[in-house]
Chains A and B, each alone.
Chain A
Amino acid sequence: MTIKIKIRRLILFVCLLFSMTPAIAIAGATEPYEVITHPGINEKSLPRSALRAIFGMRLHTWPDGTAVKVFVMPDDAPLHAVFSKEKLNVFPYQLRTAWDRLVFSGTGQAPETVASQEEMLAKVASTPGAIGYLTKSRMDGRVNVLQIK
Chain B
Amino acid sequence: MYSRSNNPARHHVNWAIRLMVLPALLSGAPAHADKLPELPKLSEIRLPKLPEMPKLPHNLQIHGFASQGWLKSTDNNVFGQSSSSSGSFDFREIGLNASMRPLSNLQFSVQGLSRTAGEGSPGNIRLDYGFIDYTFSNQENSQFGIRLGRMKNPLGFYNDTRDVPFTRPSILLPQSIYFDRTRKLAIAADGAHLYGEYRSDYGDVSFQAGIVRPLVQGAEAEAAVFNGSQPPGHLTPNMSYVGRVNYELDGGRVRFGISATQLNMGYSPGVGDPLQAGAVHFIPLVFSAQYNAERWSLTSEYAIRFLEYKNFGPALPNLDFAGESYYFQGVYRFTPEWEGIIRYDALFTDGDDHSGKTWAANDAIQMAKRGLPGRPAHSRFAKDITVGLRWNITPQFMLRAEYHRVNGTGWLSTLDNPNPYATVQHWDLFSILGSYRF
Residues of chain A whose beta carbon lies under 8 Å from any beta carbon of chain B: 1-3, 6, 9, 13, 16-17, 19-27, 29, 46-47, 49-50, 52-53, 56, 58-61, 63, 65-68, 74-76, 78, 88-94, 97-98, 100-101, 103-110
Contact = CB atoms under 8 A, between A and B. Distances in A.
Contact of B129 (A20, A91, A106): A106
Contacts of B33: 23, 25
A22 B152 CA distance: 40
Given A50-B140, A63-B140, 14 more contacts: A17-B332, A17-B340, A26-B36, A29-B34, A67-B101, A76-B336, A101-B161, A101-B167, A104-B97, A104-B160, A105-B151, A106-B107, A109-B59, A109-B99
Contact of B164 (A16, A17, A56, A100): A100
B104 A94 contact: no
The 3 closest A-B pairs by CB, nearest first: A106-B109, A67-B104, A90-B251
A60 B104 contact: yes
Interface in B103-146: 103-105, 107, 109-111, 129-131, 133, 135, 138, 140-141, 143
B160 A49 contact: no
Contacts of A78: 35
A98 B135 contact: no
Contact of B292 (A3, A24, A74, A94): A94
Residue among B21, B111, B140 facing the most chain A CB atoms (10 A cut-off): B140
Contacts of A98: 252
A25 B34 CA distance: 7
Nearest to B104: A67
Contacts of A24: 36, 294-295
B24 A104 contact: no
Interface residues of B, number: 73
Interface stretch (B170-178, B194-202, B311-319, B352-360): B194-202
B296 to A, nearest CB: 8
A61 B139 CA distance: 8
13 contacts: A17-B24, A20-B24, A20-B295, A21-B295, A26-B35, A26-B36, A58-B143, A61-B138, A104-B95, A106-B129, A106-B130, A106-B151, A109-B61
Interface in B1-56: 3-5, 10, 13-14, 17, 20-21, 24-25, 27-31, 33-37
Contacts of B292: 91, 94
Contacts of A49: 141, 199-201, 204
B104 A107 contact: no
Contacts of A110: 61, 63
B63 A103 contact: yes
Interface in B314-349: 332-334, 336, 340
A16 to B, nearest CB: 5
A13 B21 contact: yes
A23 B37 contact: yes
Nearest to B111: A106
A104 B141 contact: no
A65 B251 CA distance: 25
B140 A59 contact: yes
B21 A16 contact: yes
Residue among B131, B253, B294 facing the most chain A CB atoms (10 A cut-off): B294
A53 B129 contact: no
B25 A16 contact: yes
Contacts of B282: none
Contacts of B13: 6
B250 interface: yes
Contact of A107 (B109, B295, B336): B109
Contacts of A75: 336, 395
A56 B252 CA distance: 10
A108 B99 CA distance: 8
Nearest to A12: B21
Contact of A104 (B3, B161, B336): B161
Nearest to A43: B140
B287 interface: no
A20 B5 contact: no
Interface in B192-216: 195, 197, 199-201, 204
Contacts of B250: 89
Contact of B143 (A1, A23, A59, A76): A59
